[in-house]
């Protein structure tokens, strides 16, 4: 075994979250409708998920559709939901071989019974898998915080702690993200993981999501390992 000390120090990153942005611009650059970009966005997501599986990343979270994205033209929203349904079908087909425990983040109340049932079934069927994939769909950080408050009120809770509050969030089953990557060049959070991002390392790249591949992820991880996380200490 010829492992360097450096490699031994590098435990896999626990939780990487992705703001998968830039599909629309990627399509526009090619003179194609935005939906075309979303289609290639799904392919990029699948490549990245496989790479995260191989790297042993414990939790992968992807921002697929925000609570604000409903404002987009119906044609685009419908296309995104169709891609989501196709992904559900693909997961169902290879359920035995699927490596990740799937959790959906966001209220499922926005979806019809059929889609909701499929989502819940996939969550149940994959519950025992070792790595986790959180799919943020109809997700907003503010919605999540308000939803958690209402959940606690409904339970008759009179006093909350940071721990009890965190366990009322959609991400109750996940650790906080270590690294949040946003593609597409914008330097903002766009209502993603507002509570959980408290001490996440942020990484922004101009690369548009459909072009974000394993090499780009490796570069982001390389950058992550150079950082010193102080959590307010010295």
Q: Which is nearer to ligand IPE, 91 or 184 (CB)?
A: 184
Q: Which is nearer to ligand IPE, 107 or 125 (CB)?
A: 107
> Counting contacts by CB under 6 A, is residue 125 touching ligand IPE?
no
From the CB of residue 162, how many other CB atoms can be counted at a distance below 10 Å? 9
The single residue among 14, 25, 47, 167 that binds ligand IPE, judged by CB under 6 A, is: 25
Q: Which is nearer to Mg ion, 21 or 143 (CB)?
A: 21
CA angle 164, 53, 89 (to 5 degrees): 85
From the CB of residue 105, how many other CB atoms can be counted at a distance below 10 Å? 25
Determine whether 78 is an active site residue.
Answer: no
* Only segment of 62-70, 154-162, 197-205, 212-220 that touches ligand IPE (CB under 6 A): 62-70
Residue number of the CB atom closest to ligand IPE? 24
In the structure encoding, which two tokens stand for residue 97, read together? 């071989």
Please pick, among 2, 23, 54, 69, the residue that the annotation labels catalytic.
69
Residues 165-184 within binding reach of ligand IPE (CB under 6 A): 184
Determine whether 143 is an active site residue.
Answer: no
> Counting contacts by CB under 6 A, is residue 106 touching ligand IPE?
no
Q: Cα–Cα distance between 38 and 30 in angstroms, integer?
A: 13
Spatial CA neighbour of 64 closest among 119, 104, 107, 118: 104
> Counting contacts by CB under 6 A, is residue 23 touching ligand IPE?
yes
Phi and psi of 231, rounded to 5°?
A: 50, 35
The single residue among 16, 17, 19, 57 that binds ligand IPE, judged by CB under 6 A, is: 19
> Counting contacts by CB under 5 A, is residue 21 touching Mg ion?
yes
Q: Which is nearer to ligand IPE, 85 or 186 (CB)?
A: 186
Please pick, among 6, 21, 113, 186, the residue that the annotation labels catalytic.
21
Exposure string for 200-229, b = 16+ CB within 10 A, e = fewer: bbebbbebbbbebeeebbeebbeebeeeee
CB of 64 to ligand IPE, least distance (A): 6
CB of 73 to Mg ion, least distance (A): 14
Strand ranges for the chain from DSSP E? 15-19, 59-66, 100-105, 131-139, 179-182, 201-204
Residues lying near Mg ion in the complex (CB under 5 A): 21
């Amino acid at each position: 075994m010829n492992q360097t000390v450096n490699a031994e120090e590098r435990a896999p990153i626990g939780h990487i979250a992705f703001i998968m942005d830039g599909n629309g611009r990627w399509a526009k650059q090619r003179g194609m409708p935005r939906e075309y970009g979303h289609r290639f966005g799904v392919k990029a997501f699948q490549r990245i998920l496989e790479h995260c599986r191989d790297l042993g990343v414990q939790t992968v979270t992807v921002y697929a559709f925000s609570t604000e994205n409903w404002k987009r033209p119906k044609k685009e929203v419908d296309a995104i939901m169709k891609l989501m349904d196709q992904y559900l079908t693909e997961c169902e087909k290879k359920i035995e071989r699927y490596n990740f425990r799937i959790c959906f983040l966001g209220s499922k109340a926005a979806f019809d019974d059929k889609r909701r049932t499929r989502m819940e079934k996939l969550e149940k069927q994959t519950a025992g898998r070792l790595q986790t994939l959180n799919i943020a769909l109809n997700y907003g950080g503010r919605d999540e915080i308000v939803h958690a408050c209402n959940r606690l009120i409904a339970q008759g809770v009179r006093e909350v702690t940071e721990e009890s509050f965190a366990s009322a969030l959609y991400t109750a089953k996940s650790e906080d993200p270590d690294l949040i990557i946003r593609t597409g060049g914008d330097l903002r959070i766009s209502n993603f993981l507002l509570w959980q991002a408290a001490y996440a390392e942020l990484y922004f790249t101009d690369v548009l999501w459909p072009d974000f591949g394993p090499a780009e992820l490796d570069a982001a991880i390389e950058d992550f390992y150079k950082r010193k996380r102080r959590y307010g200490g010295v």
